Structure 1
Amino acid sequence: MKLLLDQGLPRSSASLLRQAGIDAIHVGEIGYATATDASILERGRQEKRVVVTLDADFHAQLALSDAVYPSVIRIRIEGLRGQALAALLERLVRDWDEELELGAVLTVQDNRVRMRRLPLLTQD
C-alpha cells in the first residue's frame, strides 16, 4: 500500500510510516504543498497511492468525476501529531487493505470509520 499525505497533515508521519515499511510521501516532499486537490488526486491515481487528507473536497471531486481510483482516507480527528497519525494509518492500512486496493473512501472519526466504495454515486 502506498500513501500520499496531503498538506495539513504532519510531514513527520510520512517518515515514520516509511520506517514502518509503508511507502508514504507527503505533498511537501514532492513540491505539491500548494497543488490543487485535482492535481493531488491525479498524482495519487498515477502512482497508485491512497490520498490521505483532512479535506472533504476530495470526496466531492471523486463523486463528480465518477472516479474509481485513487482511494482517499479523510481524517476527521483534530490535533493528531505525527506519531499518532502514523499509528492510525498503519492500523487503517492493515484493517482496510482490500477495500482501499479496490477503490474506496474512508472517513475516520475518533471512534468510527465509514467506508464507501468507489465510484461514489451523486444524487440527481
Structure 2
Amino acid sequence: MKFLVDAQLPPALARAIANEGHDAVHVCDLDMTSAPDSEVWNAAILRGAAIVTKDEDFILLGRAKGTADVPAVVWIRIGNCSRKALLAAVLPILSTIVEMLDAGEIVIEVR
C-alpha cells in the first residue's frame, strides 16, 4: 500500500508505516511541506497513494471532486498528542486500515 503523509503529521509516522512494509513518504520528503492541499492531492493521485492527514480540508476536497481521481484519505482525528502516542494509536490498526483501503474505502477515520 502507498501512503503520503501530510505536513501536520510528523515524518516519523511515514517512516513507521514504511517500516511495516508499505511505501510511505512524508510531504517533506517531496519538498512539499508548504504545498497547498490541491498539490498534495495531485501528488497522491500521481503516486497512487492514500493521503494520511489531520486536515478536514481533504475530506471536503474529495466531496467536491466526486468519485473520479479521488485518492483515499486516512483522516487522523486524534487530538494533539506526542509522536509516541500517535504511533501507538496508528500502528496497531495499520493492517485494518490497509484492509479497508484494499476493500475500496475512500475515507477512513482514525479516532
Q: Same fold by TM-score, threshold 0.5 exceeded?
A: yes
How far 1:85 moved relative to its partner? 2.9
Q: AA paired with 2:52?
A: V
- Identity, in percent, stands at 28
Q: AA paired with 1:107?
A: E
Structure with higher Rg: it is 1
Q: Which runs of 5+ in 2 are unaligned?
A: none
How far 1:17 moved relative to its partner? 2.0
Aligned residue for 1:31?
Answer: 31
Structure-2 change in CA distance of 1:85 and 1:18 (3 Å): same
Instruction: Considering fraction of residues, name the structure with more helix.
Output: 2
Structure-2 change in CA distance of 1:70 and 1:103 (3 Å): farther
Aligned residue for 2:107?
Answer: 105
Aligned residue for 1:43?
Answer: 43
Q: Which runs of 5+ in 1 are unaligned?
A: 110-124
Deviating above 4 A after TM superposition, structure 1's stretches of 4 or more consecutive aligned residues are none
Instruction: Considering fraction of residues, name the structure with more strand.
Output: 1
Give the TM-score of the pair, scaled to structure 2. Answer: 0.84
Q: Following superposition of structure 1 onto structure 2, how do residues 1-124 of structure 1 map, counting pairs within 5 Å?
A: 1-68=1-68, 69-101=70-102, 102-109=104-111
What is the rounded CA distance, in whole Å, between the counterparts of 1:9 and 1:48 in structure 2?
A: 20
What is the rounded CA distance, in whole Å, between the counterparts of 2:99 and 2:17 in structure 1?
A: 19
Structure-2 change in CA distance of 1:91 and 1:8 (3 Å): same
Give the superposed CA RMSD. Answer: 1.9
What is the rounded CA distance, in whole Å, between the counterparts of 2:108 and 2:87 in structure 1?
A: 16
Structure-2 change in CA distance of 1:89 and 1:48 (3 Å): farther
Give the TM-score of the pair, scaled to structure 1. Answer: 0.76
What is the rounded CA distance, in whole Å, between the counterparts of 2:85 and 2:74 in structure 1?
A: 15
What is the rounded CA distance, in whole Å, between the counterparts of 2:106 and 2:64 in structure 1?
A: 15
